[in-house]
Structure 1
């Protein structure tokens, strides 16, 4: 995307310079019909009609898909023991269904995969659905000697090893939580449902064919749907085809798998009043940076140093569907937790095993969450995000609740996680660089 803009600027500069130096001249380009270039060849009218039909079909597809939107069912991973949200996608030709983590914080879309015998029966792939690349007629490996591999995919952790020209481009994709996936890059077709009930095929999408992975982030999943914004992400392809917006509404994280909402590419049909703030797509790429300037508990604005929200000083904030809890820089974390703690003084502190949260308490003797103050994130420009109380006082075990925050250290990027986002409709407009949101049942 950036490379295209640079090229356009270069061309524009050249044309302006040429115009300045040749004020009385006119640029004239000779045009010829293609058939006149081959006077000895006989071009049948059928060939011309066939080419025109192909072009018209492409134009028609573009117009139809701009009017329609892609619609993917979205559900909590609660029944799978995962603190993530899942969607189903169909990969390859013929299309095979896979359950993937919906992750706005990563760029690579990948599925558990077997290619040239690698991946079958290995470790964690043994009892999972596996995409068999050789069985898909649309699977095209990315070669290790290509510019795509050696230059364009470096940020997606492509590896430099290339024993021979037929070797595919490999990756070792790393996530912020320490999880990783290893495999080879390919171009493939993904089939999605449309809002009108039909389907559309996204051809030539970069995917990862993962033969192995590690980390708890993928529990219950067959892969990841990379929704961060970059040249090779699913978002970039889908928003280009369906219009520059996508939206989702995350049901309560404790919902069972039969409860679902939707991930939609294109304009949502919901007519609800939303609040809008700036979405800075160039501040912390490829993440969705939001301009938070403070947090309050009710009418009490917390005393948080402004550098916590300043991305140029190592701070700043992103919205991330792939992170469960909300991570705050230490200075913000201390003030939020201590501010809420004042309202929980009569409850017994507990430390549940395996729960990486500092402040948890026993509620078996009773707890009235309505007595807690309303947590409010304040955006530059005046918009306010007021999450539901169950989004920042979360259930972690029977009779145990915790404050849903984790310290991210100092300096640190603040991350608004998926539990904090639940039961809100979020619409990302990557053309207008805006984020709109509103409370919703997600049904």
Structure 2
């Protein structure tokens, strides 16, 4: 009898083990996907009236964000002292501008899942949502500051677990995410409190939550214990038309680092043309990309520096050529150890180059469009705009980013000679004071597949129509 019982238990264990293996294999064979939209996509009903207004909006956010990138390498944490207040009610303090991205994803948080539209940002660590805590079923009535936004009602989620403010995680691990030092009671939630350079602001508490992802095979996958910011208050143009941010930076608590190990250690996206007028979208993917089979022969890889300019995704640019001629740019511009470096940033629209690189790039491109009347566009920081009547892309020599390991990124001409108004184009670069970090923005990345392989520290990219 005992022997029979032993074999029954052993058989049940083997069945359970095999089921777990099949589930694990299924996740890897069927990557997770999240729909990806541009911030001005028709679905979001947020497109400015004119193309010029649209570019001005993007650049306003870009300029603020670039200051954040330069300053974030030396973060500062300040305590906020108040009296007779809970942690979540602490006033805003001077923080760092994490900036926002220009593309949105549909994100499901909580149990049962609640759906939100969040900004995709490869340079932000924290994933947060517009959220109310301890307000029961009347949460929506408390949403007075953002009446048109969706609200995550934390009390209705059985998987919402706050991080205690007296915990090691709050006091040490989340310090660089601007956790507050004040802790009125040991079990009070760990709070964050920061103000952005453009006047935007956010205040909230940290929690662990469940995120629901859709798999490529139509099934669902739940990720448990994902660090989520529950933002009770936020304001500013940076978050226009969004319910929060998906943090994809390289950080212990970012969503990218939480989700990617479950799906082969990588994530990818393909940004549709930022000028698309149709209801087109693509996906933020974790695991294999739906484009891999079609692009396998065209994908190029370069080293992805995960700790060089943390938490950003840095690449080793060696130089830029235009029309097959390498420009005379000092190597220190690309060397992070000498005050330079280059990052891939989904949240910046245009491409920012430090002045020693910006000047030769602009000089070479200006020559190719000098036959067209130069125009001044008020409110735009771009130095060179022109009347585009009669312009054809073949007039402009090809621009190529050269990486130290031999890989070459050849963006589409429309990604650096960009439309800003009817009949007006501009050279899509913005200068950065030297020393400083150069950023390859999302307009430069458009119509390419980008794969961030965190396990093997490499970046893959290939041309694609992203539809």
| Fold shared, TM-score > 0.5 on shorter chain | yes
Deviations 1:44-101 (A, max 9, x none): 9999999988776655433322332101111211232475111101111111111111
CA–CA distance in structure 1, aligned partners of residues 199 and 464 of structure 2: 33
Paired with 1:419 and 1:255, the residues of 2 have a C-alpha distance of 12
- Within 5 Å, give how 1:55-74 maps onto structure 2: 58-74=20-36
Aligned to 1:380: 404
Q: Provide the residue aligned with 1:199 in structure 2.
A: 220
The match for 1:227 among 223, 239, 248 is 248
In structure 1, what is the Cα distance between the partners aligned to 2:461 and 2:225? 32
Cα 1:56/1:160, change in 2 over 3 Å: farther
* 1:279 aligned to which of 304, 312, 316: 304
Partner residue, 1:414: 438
What aligned pairs does 1:250-329 form with structure 2 within 5 A after superposition? 250-256=271-277, 258-269=279-290, 270-271=292-293, 272=295, 273-329=298-354
- Once residues 347 and 144 of structure 2 are traced to their aligned partners in structure 1, the CA distance between those partners, rounded to angstroms, is 24
Deviation string 1:288-347 (CA, Å, 9 cap, x unpaired) is: 110001011111211111100000011111101111111111111111112111122232
- 302 and 243 in structure 1: CA distance in 2 versus 1, 3 angstrom threshold: same
Greater CA drift, 189-198 or 175-184: 175-184
| Aligned-pair CA distance for 1:210 | 0.9
Q: Point out the more displaced range, 78-87 or 251-260.
A: 78-87
Distance 1:180 1:309, change over 3 A: farther
Report how far residue 348 of structure 1 moved.
2.6
What is the aligned partner in structure 1 of residue 394 from structure 2? 370
Q: Name the CA distance, whole Å, in 1 between partners of 2:289 and 2:452.
A: 11
| Aligned residues of 2:268 and 2:289 also touching (Cα < 8 A) | yes
Give 1:257 shift. Answer: 6.5
Aligned mate of 1:143, from 126, 150, 164 = 164
Rounded to whole Å, the distance in 2 between the matches of 1:385 and 1:95 is: 39
Separation of aligned partners in 1, 2:229 and 2:7: 43
1:346 aligns with 2:371: yes
Q: Equivalent residues in 2 for 1:414-433 (5 A)?
A: 414-433=438-457
- Which residue, out of 87, 90, 93, partners 2:111? 93
* Runs of at least 4 residues off by over 4 Å: 43-60, 117-124, 173-180
Q: Does 1:357 align with 2:357?
A: no
Alignment of 1:113 with 2:137, yes or no, is: no
Report the secondary structure of 1:125's partner residue.
coil
Change (3 A) 1:165 1:52: farther
**Paired residues of 2:143 and 2:151 also in contact (CA < 8 A):** no
Which blocks of at least 5 consecutive residues in structure 1 are unaligned? 1-42
SS at match of 2:433: coil
CA 1:59–1:315 in 2, change beyond 3 Å: closer, same or farther? same
TM-superposed CA distance for 1:355, in Å, is 2.4
Q: Indicate how the Cα distance of structure 1 residues 182 and 345 shifts in structure 2: closer, same or farther if over 3 A, else same.
A: same
Shift of 1:263: 1.2
**Matching residue of 1:402:** 426
What SS class does the counterpart of residue 87 from structure 1 fall into? strand
2:231 aligned to which of 210, 216, 225 = 210
Q: Cα deviation per residue 1:194-250 (whole Å; 9 max; x = unaligned)?
A: 011111011110011112223322222111111111111111111111111111110
* Whole-Å separation in 2 of the counterparts to 1:257 and 1:171: 39
Of structures 1 and 2, the larger Rg is shown by 1
SS of the aligned residue for 2:185 comes to coil
In the TM superposition, residue 425 of structure 1 has moved relative to its aligned partner by 0.7
Equivalent of 2:463, from 412, 415, 439?
439
In the alignment, is the contact (CA less than 8 A) between 1:112 and 1:212 conserved in 2? yes
The unaligned stretches of length 5 or more in structure 2 are: 48-56, 59-101
Range moving further from structure 2, 382-391 or 180-189: 180-189
SS in structure 2 of the partner of residue 62 of structure 1: helix
Alpha-carbon distance, 1:382 to partner: 1.1
Structure 1 residues 192 and 55: alpha-carbon distance in aligned structure 2, compared to 1, 3 A threshold: same
* Cross-structure match for 1:18: none
Matches of 1:120 and 1:418, distance apart in 2: 37
Residue matched to 1:19: none
1:121-136 aligned at under 5 Å gives the runs 121=142, 124-136=145-157
How well do the aligned residues superpose, as a CA RMSD in angstroms?
Answer: 2.5
Paired residues of 2:259 and 2:286 also in contact (CA < 8 A): yes
TM-score (normalizing by structure 1): 0.84
CA distance in 2, matches of 1:146, 1:161: 12
Question: What is the TM-score with the length of structure 2 in the denominator?
Answer: 0.80
Query: Match for 1:76 among 38, 51, 54?
Result: 38
